[in-house]
Amino acid sequence: MNTSQIAEIKRILKLPFKLIYHFICAIFFMFGLLFLYIPIAKKNSKNRKSEEVIVVSHVAISFDGRIKKCVNDLIRLGKKVTLLKPVDSLEDEKFEKSGLDSGVCIKKIGLSGVFNHFPCMFDISMLSYMIFSRARYLHCHDVNTALMGLIAAKITGKIVIADLHEWKAECSALDTTKISSIQTKAFTIAEKFVLERADFVISVNDIIANEMMNCYKINRKIYIVKNMPVFQKFQPYNLRKKLGINSNFLIAYYVGQLAPYRRIDQLIKAVAQCDRVVLVVQGTIQNEYLATLENLCAEIGVTDRVFFLPPISHHDIPSFCQGADIGVFTCETNAKSMYFSLPNKLFEYIAGEIPIVSEDVPAVRSYIEQFEIGTLITSKDLKTVVDAFNSYLSSDKLKFQKKNIVSLKKGLEKNTDNEKVYYLIYQKDCVRQ
């Protein structure tokens, strides 16, 4: 029995406990709605404060720069922000608060593992908090929390901003389990409902926004907020010195979630076919998958040239990037959510001023081809990865593309419009009032 089968068995065994939890909570919740919640919530809604915003996350925020930047931008707009997050999202308090404005209030409530996957798509305790709060706005990150926001809005008249990080229904194509088709249908219905009913909708790029509207046959305004970090001067982290890497070797750096659909195994195999390339991989990873990758390294003899580092705060990623020579982005492209993505990595590598070796996906391709800042690959074809790595052993190509990246970074620093988008959304609602 392989590790993926064991993981699937564990997930199935946990489902009954999750469903029992929801069933018990649902009973209390229905009685509460009838006799307590609705009367009190409606009374509270009359006294709601227009400057208060609840930003809702269903995952750990330590390594999600998008949520932290959203919070900071809203505080700069003069909003009083409460960040609502799961109590069981185990994360270091230092990482949790790193990069967050000191003015934010963090509330831990609900269980992330309970509503992260179908059929458990929301959490009763979080929903209760949204209903009772006197905040006017519910800024909900991802479709799970947006569903809860819409229920709370139906009762209290709050304004719901659905901030969709990805095309959730299409992510199910990455799931090889039997439940994936049911999960896809559930999230398809949920996403369509959110797109139709939310007061404002935000997506990560124009391509996904247009594809979702075409798929769900919806015509509405979708605002775009790209996953850009705060561009500033960073103190480089000397990866070469810390890891004892020879100055003649090229350092390829991958940062982010580590899962089979990210094709890290292809990067390791490519290193084996390159003479002077070292791979540094940094991010969250399950122990079973880490063991699989380490065994692969041992089998093909690259243990001394592949390094696995623990995850770091998104705030520190550009510093680590500056210690590398090139940044890498690879993924499965059979899921539309991945194929049409505009990943955080692109902008983090730009902030770190390193060229990008990227999977050939439309949104990233436009940056690489227009600004000449990297090389496109098809990670399924190992030769394209090997050729890309070897091409950067020439210092001329590195210097040329680094120069282009520095110029692009300066342009992005001046034209980062995420805060303007939030201003437009909240200002429009103020005018509407």
Each residue's pLDDT tens digit, 303-350: 999 999 998 887 888 899 999 999 999 998 888 888 888 888 999 999
Residues 396-422, mean pLDDT to the nearest whole number: 85
Class of domain 239-414: alpha beta
Rounded CA-CA distance 339/253 in Å is 21
For residue 144, how far is the Cα from the chain centroid?
14
Which two tokens mark 347?
């902008």
What is the pTM for the complete model shown? 0.81
Q: Which of 123, 204, 124 is nearest to 170 (CA)?
A: 204
Strands (DSSP E) contained in 316-367 are 326-329, 356-359
Type and span of the H or E element at 108: strand 105-108
Residues 89-112, mean pLDDT to the nearest whole number: 69
Topology (CATH level 3) of domain 49-227+417-432:
Rossmann fold (3.40.50)
* pLDDT in the model for residue 433: 42
Higher pLDDT: 261 or 383? It is 383
Contact 419, 75 (CB under 8 A): no
Q: Please, where in the chain does CATH 3.40.50.2000 lie?
A: 49-227+417-432, 239-414
* pLDDT in the model for residue 102: 77
Q: What are phi and psi of 376, to 5 degrees?
A: -90, 140
Residue 236: asked if its preceding bond is cis (omega within 30°), the reply is no
Q: Which of 412, 367, 320 is nearest to 376 (CA)?
A: 367
Rounded CA-CA distance 164/160 in Å is 12
- Please write the tens of the pLDDT for every residue from 113-150: 444 555 456 677 888 889 888 899 999 998 889 999 99
Rounded CA-CA distance 290/91 in Å is 20
Amino acid letter, residue 255: V
Residues 215-236, mean pLDDT to the nearest whole number: 83
Rounded CA-CA distance 155/379 in Å is 48
> To which residue do tokens 């540094």 refer?
280
Give every CB contact of residue 13 below 8 A, 6+ residues apart in sequence: none
Strand partners, 223: 202
Cα-based distances in Å from 206 to 8, 353, 423: 35, 25, 19
* Neighbouring C-beta atoms of residue 10, cutoff 10 Å: 9
Q: What are phi and psi of 289, to 5 degrees?
A: -70, -35
Identify the weakest region by mean pLDDT among 91-105, 194-208, 390-404: 91-105
- Is the pLDDT score of 431 beyond 50? no
- Residue 109: pLDDT band (50, 70, 90) is confident
Provide the phi-psi class of 423: left if phi over 0, else alpha when psi is between -120 and 50, else beta: alpha
Q: Which of 80, 63, 159, 51 is nearest to 432 (CA)?
A: 159
Rounded CA-CA distance 252/391 in Å is 12
Rounded CA-CA distance 282/319 in Å is 13
* Neighbouring C-beta atoms of residue 165, cutoff 10 Å: 21
* Neighbouring C-beta atoms of residue 281, cutoff 10 Å: 22
